[in-house]
Amino acid sequence: MIRVLVWCEHYQDREDEAVRAVYPEFMHNAIAGFLSEDADLSVKTATLFDENCGITDEILAETDVIIWWGHMLHHEVPDEIVDKVQEFVLNGGGFIPLHSAHFCKPFIRLMGTSCGLCVEGYGKHVINCVRPAHPINRGLPEVFELPEEEKFTEFYDVPQPDELIYISGYESGRVFRSGCAYHRGRGKVFYFQPGHESFPIYRDANIQKVIRNAVYWVAPNKD
Ligand code: ZN
């Protein structure tokens, strides 16, 4: 059993009508919902508005993988929480920042770079797998599309991934390293780009499969 904590900022999905229309159950519950269909995953949620952001030593002791979605309020996550998440990963935990969580404090801490990127607007994503045999792409085609998504582009200021899994391409010719895998200490990190809040990205079967596979890949090696 892999124990997953889906952490969400939980601001726009509460305050912004357009986002609420897409995720009436809230974003963390949408992600936890499809993961919970897997009987081998035990899934909990936490948000910025929980006490201690829902991240305590006790909770982390019962967590194998943290999925993180944030956008507007990265700065409100206290540094003590960032310390805990960093230590969690270095000691073997898995960490999956999604979409605008490229700017979340724990990811910047773990990467050691700005994690800045460029944005081209919205439109079709063509997601190309450049590591087809990687477990994160198990059961997925080598190319799949999202009809409408926010288009992050290079330059993406992250360290060269230990394994680059996906590159997204757009009609303009611009591209983005949209699936980047890293080892940090005893733990693993997988950044995955899809998930703009006003499109139903986490309802997409391929995206759900990538995230589920990523949970298995970043999960600690345990006997
Ligand atoms: Zn976005």
Q: How far is the CA of 98 from the centre of ligand 1 (A)?
A: 10
120 in any annotated domain: no
For residue 7, what are the domain limits? 2-115+178-218
Q: Provide the Cα torsion 25, 39, 212, 22; round to 10°.
A: -10
Q: How far is the CA of 124 from the centre of ligand 1 (A)?
A: 14
pLDDT value, residue 53 = 97
What Cα–Cα distance (Å) separates residue 93 from each residue in 28, 80, 218? 19, 17, 7
Q: How far is the CA of 35 from the centre of ligand 1 (A)?
A: 22
Q: Name the strands in the sheet holding 175-184, side by side, starting at the edge strand that comes first in the sequence.
A: 41-47, 2-8, 65-69, 94-98, 187-192, 175-184, 163-169, 118-129, 143-153
pLDDT value, residue 221 = 84
Q: How far is the CA of 91 from the centre of ligand 1 (A)?
A: 30
164 in any annotated domain: no
pLDDT value, residue 73 = 96
Stretches where the chain sits below pLDDT 50 are none
Strand 143-153 versus strand 2-8 pairing type: unpaired
88 in any annotated domain: yes
pLDDT value, residue 72 = 96
Q: How far is the CA of 161 from the centre of ligand 1 (A)?
A: 22
Calpha distance 67→31 (Å, rounded): 9
Calpha distance 58→185 (Å, rounded): 21
pLDDT value, residue 223 = 60
131 in any annotated domain: no
Name the residues around ion ligand 1, CB cutoff 5 A. Answer: 100, 150, 196
pLDDT value, residue 7 = 98
126 in any annotated domain: no
State the total domains in the chain.
1
152-166 pLDDT, tens per residue?
A: 999 999 999 999 999
The CATH number given to whatever domain includes residue 71 is 3.40.50.880
pLDDT value, residue 195 = 98
35-73 pLDDT, tens per residue?
A: 999 999 999 999 999 999 999 999 999 999 999 999 999
149 in any annotated domain: no
206 in any annotated domain: yes
159 in any annotated domain: no
